[in-house]
Each structure stands twice: as structure tokens, then as C-alpha cells.
Structure 1
């Protein structure tokens, strides 16, 4: 994203009181303890197993690792995962860890 686009998005957030996750196309993540994971504004399911959920987001992927996973809710832009969560990683577009 270039500087002009960043300025426009900042202006939209300030002038119209829009939430940054909406304007910046970022995911909104809620984790309750180590048992529930809820994400809004993802761009699709990349991987789902009993031990890992990987979702596409604007800048790459979000990977949730653990065990006994069950998808409690799955809508086009929202997912609720239940199970024992041990790790949440933000990965770049190539699938490697973010620095």
C-alpha cells in the first residue's frame, strides 16, 4: 500500500469514526482463554484439521494450532473455533512467520 492510500484510510478513520479493522481490511480476533477463537473479516479458509486452522487475511495468514478443534460457526467472513488453543501465528503471504 502506498503513502497516498495510507493517508486516505487514516482520514476516513478520523473523519467518519470508522473502525480501523474495517478501513485497513484487518481481521478482528477475539480469543477467550485457550478454548475459543473467533475471527471476523478473514478472506477464506486455507487449512482445517483437528490440530490447525489457517485463514487467509489481508497480509498473509493466521494460523491457530492446538487440538480437539471443532468449527462451531462458519460464515463467509466469520469463524468460531472451539478446542484447546496452544498457539496463534501471523504468517506472511509465503507462509513463513512474520518478523
Structure 2
């Protein structure tokens, strides 16, 4: 049943004007150079320091490693990180 649901959502995103990341509930990441990362559709902040940002996602976690991190913006569904981004990983629960 889940396979059909995922296929329907993907089809719906293709035939509608609604972006796929919104329909599927997956994060959208925009990396500008190596020093600014915008993340949409996250659930919550799990950890933050000058070298690490960990976010809970709808499914799993997002781990970001680097240096000199500063949270430029933090909203309910969007977060903007400044600093040198060295690594971005999706981790399944």
C-alpha cells in the first residue's frame, strides 16, 4: 500500500503545479558555494555547534559537518546555515 501511495504522490507532483518536495514531504537543500546552506521541510533541530548541525526529517536525519557555523535564519520549516560546509549526509533511522 505504501508503494502505491508514494507512486501516487510522485505522479500528483508531476501533473500539478505543486513542487515534488512539498508533496512528498522531503527536504529541499540549496547549497550556495561552500558557505551557505538553505534547508526546507525539516522537522526539528537535534544538535547545533560551530562544526555540526543535525536535523530530524520526516524520515531519518540530516547531518551537516563543517566549520564556523552560524544560524542565519531559523523558521518553522526553513533554516539557513552560514559557514564552511564540508559534508552533508542523510541518515536513516
TM above 0.5: yes
* Structure 1 segments of 4+ aligned residues over 6 angstroms from their partners: none
Deviation at 1:90, TM superposition (A): 0.8
**Over the residues paired in the alignment, what is the CA RMSD in angstroms?**
1.4
Residue correspondences, number: 93
TM-score by length of 2: 0.91
TM-score by length of 1: 0.86
Matches within 5 A, 1:1-99: 2-93=2-93
* Cα offsets for 1:12-35 (capped at 9, x unmatched): 213323211011101010001110
Rounded Cα–Cα distance in structure 2 between residues aligned with 1:72 and 1:10 = 32
Deviation at 1:7, TM superposition (A): 3.1
Deviation at 1:3, TM superposition (A): 2.0
Rounded Cα–Cα distance in structure 1 between residues aligned with 2:24 and 2:72 = 27
Instruction: Indicate conservation of the 8 Å contact 2:40/2:78, yes or no.
Output: yes
Instruction: Indicate conservation of the 8 Å contact 2:14/2:20, yes or no.
Output: no
Q: Which runs of 5+ in 2 are unaligned?
A: none
